[in-house]
Amino acid sequence: MNFSQFCACVSSGSAQLKRRVDACAGLGRSYEFSPCEMPLGCRPGRTGLGFWREGGDYLLYFRPAVSYAGDDPRLRRFFTQGSVQRFSGFQPMADCLQALGASSPAPASFQTLNQYLQARVMGQERAVMAAAFKLWAHACKREPLRPLSLIFYGPTGVGKSELGKAIAPALNHCAGKERYRLVWTELNTFTQPHSAYRLTGAPPGYVGYDDPPVLEAVRRCPHTVFMFDELDKAHPEVLKIFMSILDEGRCTARQEDAQGSRELDFRRCVFLFTTNTDLSGTQRLGFVPAQPPPPVPRQEDGPAGSPAALARQLFQADETARRALARSGVLREITGRFSGLIGFQPLDQAARVSITAKQIAALAREYGLNLVQVAPALARALTPGEAPSPRSAVPMLEGTLSPVFLAHAALARGQTPLRLSGTVAHMSLTSVQE
């Protein structure tokens, strides 16, 4: 349970909470609640809540102590009073918690979503945080009027597709159930005008009439995450299909049972598009100096700001990218219909090394090995310095590591946790317990 939910429970079940605190006080001990996820801006992100009664006074404490660096004035005043708060009765404490719950800048669901995605995508803290905020804001809508539509732009091999693959599992993780499913489509195969029928369904007598259209997936899953790769490669007639979808959340498509057409509802869906086009606005045109894009909050800056501050910063960067998209040759009529445009930066060396270690572990799993540790020095040595993208390094890694993994195939029995260490010339696999 997060802090906002707990505070809401206090208002509805104050009598029950008071009985429990009083009962524990009669036994000479405090009443403690299981660790709560704290609002955005609090450190640590999780802490335990405790209650103690001294005569007619009630004490509320946090263990460990909580500090607040956000911009909500009520939360700042509350947490600067110390880790122990004293109230002259139970009702003043309950009223205070209720007010704090209403003023929390963000429920912990945002933090959970952001942390899940950050663990999946390396070296793109700002882009991941921006996507997490957009996803969280859309999921919080009770009656959305249109789907969430995001464009991920940046160089190839920087994590755009990886983030897209992680979104459906992340949303399911936060929801606690399998609500979202991913549908992946390569738009570089939609280069002809007639290929638009592959999205909504071909008319009777046309090629592809018997094939299920891509967008029909929403009939089976109203919370579908549609991923469309390489937006700039699609024909303009294909992009026109998305205009009513992104603007009004609806589209008419042929039914699979051939009983005519039917209006599909996409308002609960997420549409993701990727492009390798640079929309950052940093290119030099002639002799005009490049203007850097407005700053997007870093991951370490995220806990210190509220969703309102984050939204303002994202809006500035979004407008710069949207103007660049309109100039890039993509159908101009659609550029204003996207919910947000999120830029990905080239990976630094630290991120590339982390990705290399992740790729090595994935390759080991193909051989049935449970590789849980890769020596940092070895990961750095195996990271190519001039590869166009981390994806292009996979064949090199397989050629180098497959003899090592094949030689230790016997270790796959029992799934023993393994460590890869040594040098490129002399690598060895050992058990973590050794």
Over the stretch 224-244, which tens digit does the pLDDT of each residue have?
999 999 998 999 989 998 998
Considering the domain architecture, whether residues 247 and 228 belong to the same structural domain is answered as yes
pLDDT by residue (tens digit) across 341-376? 999 988 888 888 989 999 999 998 888 888 889 999
Taking phi over 0 as left and psi of -120 to 50 as alpha, with beta for the rest, 65 belongs to beta
Considering the domain architecture, whether residues 125 and 227 belong to the same structural domain is answered as yes
Q: pTM here?
A: 0.68
Q: Which of 64, 87, 103 is the last residue in one of the domains?
A: 103
Considering the domain architecture, whether residues 30 and 148 belong to the same structural domain is answered as no
- Count the Cβ atoms, other than its own, within 10 Å of residue 333: 13
Min mean pLDDT across 114-118, 347-351, 405-409 is at 405-409
Number of folded domains that form the chain: 3
Average pLDDT over residues 6-27: 81
Q: Which of 282, 315, 343 is the last residue in one of the domains?
A: 343
Considering the domain architecture, whether residues 129 and 220 belong to the same structural domain is answered as yes
Average pLDDT over residues 20-27: 90
Residue 41 near residue 30, CB atoms below 8 Å: no
* Residue ranges making up the domain that contains 82: 3-103
Considering the domain architecture, whether residues 264 and 356 belong to the same structural domain is answered as no
Distance of CA 161 to the CA centre of its chain: 12
Average pLDDT over residues 388-415: 78
Average pLDDT over residues 182-193: 91
Mean pLDDT value across the chain: 80
Considering the domain architecture, whether residues 165 and 255 belong to the same structural domain is answered as yes
Rounded to 10 degrees, the C-alpha dihedral 380/381/385/391 comes to -80
d(C-alpha 399, C-alpha 280), whole Å: 37
